[in-house]
Amino acid sequence: MAGLFFALIAYGTTPGESNLPPGVAPFANASGMLNASPSPEWEVVMAVHPKCPCTVASVNELSRLLGKVGDNVRCRFLVFHPVDSTPDWMNGKISSRLARIPRSVIQADEGGEAAFELGMKTSGAVVVFDPHGKTRFHGGITVSRNHEGDNLGVRSISMLIQGKTPPLTTTPIYGCSL
């Protein structure tokens, strides 16, 4: 029993893979999927695997964060789906939660191509761009898999958006691989 307990703790606290995101928002890119334009708003982009139960906690944390920082933030959810899957593959608990988040865009991401362009390899990964398109944060917004509560990712993003210096600009990501 003790071995199983420690194996579960190790699994829950082992971060997923991640690469560095580009230094600025990809206003033009190979896939054509992330065609953003400069705006007076911050943009939070989250990679989402709709079948990953850990991502529910990340979506809930992001929703709480948005409630604290005001209206100058927009979100983009890159919802992973396998190449050649049917459109309904993305439907489910997470997708319905995403649809309720104001000022957000839900974007199908076939094979994770757009997420990979931003260095995201794990569901729940977040990249934050400031109003000038500069990458200011990348990482996760939970302390472990499927764990909600106070964490450095949410605090750092909140501080950035409020014009303060955050304690971190990158944090570990806990979720399923894309």
**1: pLDDT confidence band, cut at 50, 70 and 90?**
low
Q: Is-contact 123 112, C-beta < 8 A?
A: no
pLDDT at 35 over 90: no
Decide the pairing of beta strands 135-139 and 126-129. Answer: antiparallel
**Could you tell me the CA-to-CA distances from 127 to 3, 93, 100, 118 in Å, in that order?**
36, 23, 20, 7
Over residues 86-112, the mean pLDDT reads: 89
Tokens of 121: 């390899």
Structural domains present in the chain: 44-178 (3.40.30.10)
Mean pLDDT of the chain: 83
pTM over 0.85: no
Report the residue count for the chain. Answer: 178
Residues of the chain with pLDDT > 90, as a percent, come to 56
Three-state DSSP class for 80?
Answer: strand
**pLDDT (tens digit, 9 = 90+) per residue, 119-143?**
999 999 999 999 988 999 999 999 8
